């Protein structure tokens, strides 16, 4: 089965031969990166990856579900996103980021961007619950905090998940930055803090293991999103390590918030929930959202501002 899956992926990736490096018009480099093998336990069978963006020019978004090594009764839902052919954007909601007089923009996926919309997914905590930086559309809603995990999009087109080492305001080379707690995974290993469950957010009814979500980056710079029920901070870190993330951060937690939506056709048509959450609906980010969220678009040109 694994050979068949890899063969299918190889066929899909062959259509990506026109994918280019954002460095320069003459530097055309084929991106041959692919989703990692995810194999559950005790079965050695690897979970197949399914393409979610059949309508887009290059295969860029794949999803899979699998049983984490340390949790035989749990299903984790994961999505791999090719960074070289996509743009990641961050949109405020009407309640998050918190109290601010700054303009919030559309508070949903803007109409101007829906023709390129690949996916949307949940962000992190409310700033009232955890101090963190929030920067998008050249607007600083909350200052950056040194040492916190941060998903960033650079003017070069590159995205990353890093531990913030800069000052309170991102530099001119950064287009978007969103922080949430310290890194969950660093150097391809769970951080020491990941074993302290109390440091990773207040849970519904105070139970230790709840729905949790995370965002990581692999060695090739591609993004990996994961959501799973019955997670402590330690088991969530183990999932991101199993997915071959070199760095990862926790996003939102508790049953209400996990959501990943894929769009089956151009124009935000045929949205579907990749994370099976009865508290969410597929069209959630096509009208004003309570909380901030991420949106993934087919890349238009390097350094272009996000749709607004």
CA distance 254 to 52: 26
How many angstroms separate the CA atoms of 184 and 195, rounded? 9
Q: Long-range contacts: 207-210, Cβ < 8 Å, 24+?
A: 208/232, 209/235, 210/253, 210/254, 210/255
User: What pTM value is reported for the model?
Assistant: 0.90
CA distance 40 to 19: 32
Rounded mean pLDDT, 74-89:
97
From CA 242, how far away is CA 222, in angstroms rounded? 15
Whether the pLDDT of residue 14 is over 60: the answer is no
Question: Using one digit for the tens of pLDDT, what is the confidence trace for 218-270?
Answer: 999 999 999 999 999 999 999 999 999 999 999 999 999 999 999 999 999 99
Nearest to 102 by CA among 90, 114, 94: 94
The DSSP 8-state label assigned to residue 111 in this structure reads: G
Q: What is the dihedral of CA 213, 1, 9, 59, to 10 degrees?
A: -40
| pLDDT tens profile 94-139 | 998 977 789 999 999 999 999 999 999 999 999 888 889 999 999 9
DSSP letter string over 212-280?
A: EEEEEE-TTS-EEEEEEEEE-HHHHHHHHHHTT-SEEEEEEESTTS--EEEEEETTTEEEEESS--TT-
CA distances, 237 to each of 2, 213, 223 (Å): 25, 10, 15
- Enumerate the β-bridge partners of residue 298: 86
Question: Exposed, middle or buried, 187 (CB in 10 Å: 0-12/13-18/19+)?
Answer: exposed
- The pLDDT tens digits for 151-206 are 999 999 999 999 999 999 999 999 999 999 999 999 999 999 999 999 999 999 99
Residue 22: its pLDDT value, please? 38
Instruction: Give tens-digit pLDDT for 30-77.
Output: 688 889 888 765 555 678 999 999 999 999 999 999 999 879 889 999
What residues pair up with 172 in beta bridges, in sequence order? none
176 against 304, higher pLDDT: 176
**Secondary structure letter of residue 219 according to DSSP:** T
pLDDT value of residue 7: 46
Q: Do residues 163 and 182 lie in contact, with contact meaning Cβ atoms separated by under 8 Å?
A: yes
What whole-number distance in Å separates Cα of residue 2 and Cα of residue 192?
33
Q: Which residue has the tokens 């799973």?
A: 228
Tally of CB atoms within 10 A around 92: 25
Asked if 117 and 297 count as a contact pair (C-beta separation under 8 A), the reply is yes
Q: What pLDDT does 129 receive? A: 87
Q: What is the pLDDT of residue 198?
A: 96
Per residue in 269-303, pLDDT (tens digit) is: 999 999 999 999 999 999 999 999 999 999 988 88
Distance CA 95, CA 291 (A): 6
The order of strands in the sheet holding 269-273 is 86-91, 293-298, 117-122, 260-265, 269-273
At residue 17, the pLDDT reads 39
């Amino acid at each position: 089965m694994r050979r068949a899956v890899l063969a299918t992926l190889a066929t899909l990736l062959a259509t990506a031969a026109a994918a280019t490096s954002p460095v320069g018009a003459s530097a055309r480099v084929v991106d041959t990166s692919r989703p990692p093998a995810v194999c559950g336990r005790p079965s050695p069978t690897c979970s197949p990856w399914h393409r979610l963006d059949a309508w887009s020019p290059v295969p860029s978004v794949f999803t899979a579900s699998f049983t984490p090594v340390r949790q035989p009764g749990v299903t984790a839902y994961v999505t791999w996103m090719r960074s070289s052919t996509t743009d990641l954007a961050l949109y405020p909601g009407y309640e998050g980021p918190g109290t601010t007089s700054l303009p919030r923009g559309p508070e949903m996926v803007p109409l101007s961007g829906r023709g390129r919309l690949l996916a949307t997914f949940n962000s992190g905590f409310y700033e009232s619950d955890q101090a963190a930086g929030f920067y998008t559309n050249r607007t600083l809603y909350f200052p950056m905090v040194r040492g916190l995990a941060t998903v960033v999009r650079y003017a070069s087109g590159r995205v990353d998940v890093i531990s913030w080492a800069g000052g309170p305001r991102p530099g001119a080379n950064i287009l978007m930055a969103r922080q949430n707690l310290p890194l969950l995974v660093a150097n391809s290993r769970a951080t020491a803090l990941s074993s302290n469950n109390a440091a990773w957010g207040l849970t519904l009814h105070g139970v230790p293991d709840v729905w949790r979500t995370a965002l990581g980056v692999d060695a090739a710079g591609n993004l990996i999103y994961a959501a799973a029920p019955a997670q402590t901070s330690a088991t969530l870190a183990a999932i991101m390590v199993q997915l071959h993330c070199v760095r990862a951060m926790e996003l939102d937690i508790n049953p209400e918030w996990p959501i990943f939506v894929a769009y089956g056709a151009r124009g935000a048509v045929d949205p579907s929930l990749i994370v099976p959450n009865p508290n969410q609906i597929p069209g959630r980010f096509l009208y004003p959202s309570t909380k901030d969220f991420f949106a993934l678009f087919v890349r238009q040109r390097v350094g272009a501002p996000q749709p607004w």
